[in-house]
Structure 1
Amino acid sequence: MSSVELQTTQPESLEDKPDESQYLLRRFFRNKMAVLGLFVFLFMILIAIFAPLLAPYDHLQTDLSVSLQTPSSAHWFGTDEFGRDILSRILFGARVSLMVGVIAVGISFSLGTTLGLIAGYIGGVWDDVIMRFTDILLAFPSILLAIAIMTGLGRGVGNAMIAIGIVGIPVYARIVRGQVLAVRSQEYVEAAKSIGAGSVRQILRHILPNVVAPLIVQISLGMSTAILEAASLGFLGLGVQPPQAEWGDMIAHGRRFINNAAYMIYFPGIAISLTVLGLNLFGDGLRDILDPRLKK
């Protein structure tokens, strides 16, 4: 065989193959709405981090002489019934909302992923028990279930995180279980099993990496749901307790003055809407680039 023929049969070098990560990044940044959602989310994170530097006033400081002032150059978003600057409280409220979203999703992700791996990989009785447990949780509206859990745990932001985290477990468990059932029968998993790979190695090296993509999407979308539920619990007085700032609690206090100081509910509501919208747009963008069915 000639040298020319040998060169034509050689495989492509790794340098000739497109970089998958760069391809995904290009696809993501072509989605303008997803990029907008990412920037909104990053903006909220920066606000939460630098709230002490950005806030024009102490968010806990009261001054009855300036209570219920409409938005002005001195107080851009106005003041509440205690004379506290609403802009400063919204900035510090971002810390609470994002913290609740991250920790609650962390609880849902860790427990739900573990249960989904057990149900999908082991199966049998474990699968039946875990799936019936998730069915019970899904039988109740999420906010009502969170309220019921907090009835036993008590009020407070820590218990709100736990309640919201428990409510989100079934979603992650079902996603992981479905992915594991589809992956565990693949050839590479069977090959790993045939050469003596243990269950833990099969899960960590061959199964779990292949279920990460839908989990990443669910985490971004789950954070928006957690922030909404945290605001709902705060509105009902079950989350952050006064005088700490939290968007849902600010709306609950502002509703009493809706006729003469409607700005008290408008600005916290806009903050919630922007954060949730940004996370949803970002999550939709991630789903579009990570879903193999949508790749061209």
Structure 2
Amino acid sequence: MRLLKKIKNRITPLKVAFIIAVGIHLAFFNLGASIAKLDNLAHSKGDFSQQVRFKMAAASTEASPSSSSVDKQEEKEIKKQKDQSETKTKKKRDLKEEKVEEVVREEETSKKEAEIDEEVEKEEPKEKKKEIKKEQEGIEKKEKAIKKKDKLEEKINKETEKRISKTEKKQKNKLEQKKNNEKEKLEKENKSVKNEKTSQNNKSIEANNSAKAPGQSSQETKQVDLTAGSKQGVKKPSLLDYNQPVYPEQMKKREIEGKVVLKVLIDHEGQVDKIKIKKSSGYKRLDLAAKKAVTKWRFNPARKNHQKIGSWILVPVRFRLEA
């Protein structure tokens, strides 16, 4: 069993194919040699029969010296035939020899080819291994290059994120500064508005005190709320003089529009006494601009039983950009 296993391990399909090819070539070579021998024997028999005929003719000529010219012609023809047969045999022999040489050459070439194939088969796995190694090295190089690219991209992304974060922080700081500045401006404006209101209130109180006569009725100091609608026996106040509100420049630049509804107290003299925001525009600047404008407006006061009275009314102020 061990011998069989060793033989199986040593014998390969290439070796078996080589042995079979050598056996086939040897068989063809032996067949060619045997065929050539048979052909030579056949030709030799034909030559022998021709020689016998020639000798018989020569003997007949010697026996009858007074032979005719016909016999001479026959001899010539026999010679010609003999020469032709010899030339044919030579040609056949040459062809057979050439065939044998070709067979031998083919066998030699087949042996050489088999040897070359074996050498190539031995060298092929080495070359394949080399090619595989080269491919693996190329793949490793590509992977390394890809990793380097990935690392560079990560670095670039981190740097860009840092820069973006810095720029965002700067922008946020700028926006916060702007907001703070706007708040400060609004606070200043509110303070100025409050101061104006207090001054106007003081003025209106002084005017009311100075204008009141000793026999004046208490109806002049009464206030009527007309924001919900008109009331019986009360005539609504009408607008005498007004100035258009100033559109804030920043709101113009941003192209922001809005509407403010103010609740205004008009005293018995037609002056604005108090202002409240009933409905905001959503923007403090527009609201403040509307308040500033309305404080300077003048009205015909409301009347009840032909007497001037104070009244609360709603005043809408719209801010629209010119088309």
TM-score normalized by structure 2?
0.23
Higher strand share: 2
Larger radius of gyration: 2
Higher helix share: 1
Task: Pick 1 or 2: higher relative contact order, CA cutoff 8 A, min separation 6.
Answer: 1
TM-score normalized by structure 1?
0.25
